[in-house]
């Protein structure tokens, strides 16, 4: 979800649909592309089906089969088999730490944000006569796993064979609810195929392991800790849970679980875990429904956070898995009504696009303060940061398929406008706003200026997304709710980073910036940057002129508040018209 392309140009108003569709194709072909899906079956065009378990590809498969709802992400690991790459991630659960420099300079990023794993709620250990499966040398004899794109469900069947030949069948269904943000639900069934025994299911909340080691690969984050510390454990009447501390205690993560089981099952407690047991004969089974809720709050008491999580888990338990699954199917049906597509004679490509649309839809933030991270909520990649790719690649797709999500993404940028202003001042700009290259909380998190803050085209990508959303949705109210202010404040930066160059016949040139390819840093007149700056300046001057004529009071109020003059607006137009666009004569 973080492709690079140095050949993009902005769309005019009449090109919104065509641009969004072409970018949808580009995003779908990015990661995972067709090659990553070749190991799987896609018989009905709507399900990713795995028929053989691969320990070699387990980590990648956990990503491909991950579920999310914009607030909570759960990797696709097996409930009963611990995995070192398993994890759950919450959009509000991120650490902040200072960035060390041997020599610090004005404008350098002070700290970085890093999304970290929260307690894993999908863990269910299986014990046969008091011993875990591993004690019997269990191996997978049969395996099937299905990601249903229409229903938003992960389904699995695993046949475990013990060393003495006895077999245990596991059937599991999982969803991360759209109806109930930050809620995970699963239905879990264990059957003794050909023997009698005492079966126990130990359902708990498993603390996250250490973050991935630091690496020269920018997709891998730096080590943050051995996992979020558990600071409180408690049990309510129908739920149990724990509290974890994040950002040195500035925020707390409450995680709670509740269950549904049959009347013949014996229920016991083991700390924050619940144990469900039954004596089974050959062919007998034990069924469990599990509901896990996550709450992240700043400045709240431990008991209050845990009480909220317990209440949410208990409410989901009373609703039941089947009702949540029905609501999940309805949510995806609504999305696919707007995102349906078919490609004649290219079923594999059509499925790849649907698959990527599925992950984009489920990974996008649905509540204020969130956008879409480079790796969604599927893992630690890129530290959970939001990049300009969100507006340039992902938002155009959502503007046509799920405009309410595109609006949420733009609201995130509007809410972070003051942080962008602060970043601009740190970079030496007296007015305007400059959005960071990578961030969660709104401040620049890149310690490498040439490939970070020097990418001034970020501002233009956000302006492009704003115009495309308004054009595609017809929703002009966002301009009144901070969109116009964002557009004007970001446009102001171009007159400070560029200049009318006498050496280029008075042409407007932009020096010492980095284009979107990120490999050629600090260049003069990057073609993409200059084209996007020209588009941005025209967009801002057009809206300013329009508002001055049709909404003079609203424009005068905004201009007065940010100190925007008529002369500055007119200079935007002159700079856009005089923008130098470098070309290679032989290439046209």
Q: Which residues are catalytic?
A: 518
Q: What is the dihedral of CA 358, 361, 364, 367, to 10 degrees?
A: -140
**Total Cβ atoms within 10 A of residue 344:** 6
| Best CA proximity match to 72, nearest among 174, 228, 182 | 182
Contact status, residue 435 vs residue 391, Cβ threshold 8 Å? no
For residues 514 and 518, what is the distance between their CA atoms, to the nearest angstrom?
A: 6
Task: Provide the token pair at 287.
Answer: 């069924």
The pairs formed by 418-422 with CB atoms below 8 angstroms and a separation of 24 or more are 419/443, 420/489, 420/490, 421/489
Q: State the DSSP H helix or E strand holding residue 232, giving kind and residue range, or none if neither.
A: strand 230-235
For residues 462 and 433, what is the distance between their CA atoms, to the nearest angstrom?
A: 12
| Best CA proximity match to 485, nearest among 470, 463, 465 | 463
For residues 352 and 333, what is the distance between their CA atoms, to the nearest angstrom?
A: 18
Which sign does the torsion angle of CA 536, 459, 9, 370 carry?
negative
Task: Provide the token pair at 376.
Answer: 């969604």
Number of H-type helices and E-type strands within the chain = 17, 20
Q: What is the dihedral of CA 196, 201, 202, 207, to 10 degrees?
A: 130
Contact status, residue 250 vs residue 298, Cβ threshold 8 Å? yes
Q: Which residues pair with 458 in a beta bridge?
A: none
Burial class (CB in 10 A: 0-12, 13-18, 19+), 248: exposed
Bridge-based pairing state of the strands 47-50 and 139-148: antiparallel
Q: Which residues pair with 500 in a beta bridge?
A: 508
Q: Strands across the sheet with 111-118, in order?
A: 67-68, 72-74, 88-98, 111-118
**Total Cβ atoms within 10 A of residue 462:** 25
């Amino acid at each position: 979800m973080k492709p690079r392309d140095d050949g993009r140009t902005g769309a005019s108003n009449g090109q919104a649909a065509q641009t969004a569709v072409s970018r949808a194709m580009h995003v779908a072909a990015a990661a995972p592309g067709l090659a990553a899906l070749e190991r799987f079956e896609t018989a009905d065009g709507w399900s990713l089906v795995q028929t053989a378990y691969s320990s070699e590809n387990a980590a990648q498969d956990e990503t491909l089969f991950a579920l999310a709802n914009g607030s909570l992400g759960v990797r696709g690991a097996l409930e009963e088999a611990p995995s070192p790459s398993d994890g759950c991630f919450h959009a509000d659960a991120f650490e902040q730490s200072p960035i060390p420099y041997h020599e610090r300079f004005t404008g350098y990023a002070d700290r970085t944000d890093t999304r970290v794993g929260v307690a894993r709620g999908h863990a269910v250990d299986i014990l046969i006569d008091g011993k875990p499966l591993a004690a019997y040398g269990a191996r997978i004899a049969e395996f099937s796993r299905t990601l249903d794109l229409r229903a938003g469900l992960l389904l699995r069947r695993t046949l475990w064979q013990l060393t003495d030949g006895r077999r245990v069948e596991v059937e599991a269904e999982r969803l991360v609810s759209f109806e109930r943000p930050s809620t995970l639900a699963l239905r879990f069934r264990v059957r003794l195929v050909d023997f009698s025994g005492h079966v126990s299911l130990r359902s708990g909340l498993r603390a996250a392991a250490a973050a991935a080691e630091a690496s020269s690969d920018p997709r891998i984050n730096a080590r943050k800790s051995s996992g979020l510390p558990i600071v409180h454990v408690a049990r309510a009447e129908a739920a149990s849970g724990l509290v974890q501390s994040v950002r040195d205690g500035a925020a707390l993560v409450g995680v709670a679980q509740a269950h549904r089981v049959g009347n013949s099952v014996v229920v016991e407690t083991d700390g924050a875990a619940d144990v469900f047991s039954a004596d089974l004969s050959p062919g007998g089974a034990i069924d469990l429904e599990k509901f896990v809720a996550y709450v992240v709050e700043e400045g709240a008491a431990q008991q209050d956070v845990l009480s909220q999580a317990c209440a949410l888990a208990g409410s989901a338990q009373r609703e039941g898995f089947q009702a949540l699954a029905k609501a999940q199917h309805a949510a995806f049906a609504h999305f696919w009504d707007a995102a349906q597509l078919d490609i004649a004679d290219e079923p594999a490509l059509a499925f790849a696009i649907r698959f990527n649309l599925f992950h984009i839809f489920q990974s996008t933030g649905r509540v204020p303060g969130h956008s879409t991270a480079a790796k969604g909520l599927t893992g630690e990649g890129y530290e959970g940061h939001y990049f300009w790719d969100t507006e340039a690649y992902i938002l155009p797709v959502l503007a046509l398929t799920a405009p309410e999500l595109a609006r949420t993404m733009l609201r995130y940028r509007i809410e972070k406008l003051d942080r962008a202003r602060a970043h601009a001042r740190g970079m030496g700009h007296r007015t305007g706003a400059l959005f960071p290259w990578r961030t969660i909380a709104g401040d620049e998190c890149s310690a490498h200026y040439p490939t970070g803050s020097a990418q001034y085209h970020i501002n233009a990508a956000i302006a492009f997304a704003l115009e495309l959303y308004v054009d595609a949705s017809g929703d002009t109210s966002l301009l009144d709710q901070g969109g116009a202010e964002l557009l004007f404040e970001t446009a102001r930066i171009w007159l400070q980073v560029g200049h009318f160059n006498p050496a280029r016949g008075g042409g407007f040139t932009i020096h010492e910036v980095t284009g979107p390819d990120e490999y050629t840093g600090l260049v003069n007149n990057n073609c993409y940057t200059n084209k996007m700056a020209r588009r941005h300046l025209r967009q801002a001057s057009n809206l300013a002129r329009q508002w001055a004529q049709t909404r003079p009071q609203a424009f005068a109020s905004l201009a007065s508040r940010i100190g925007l003059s008529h002369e500055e607006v007119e200079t935007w137009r002159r700079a856009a018209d005089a923008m130098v666009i470098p070309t290679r004569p032989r290439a046209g």
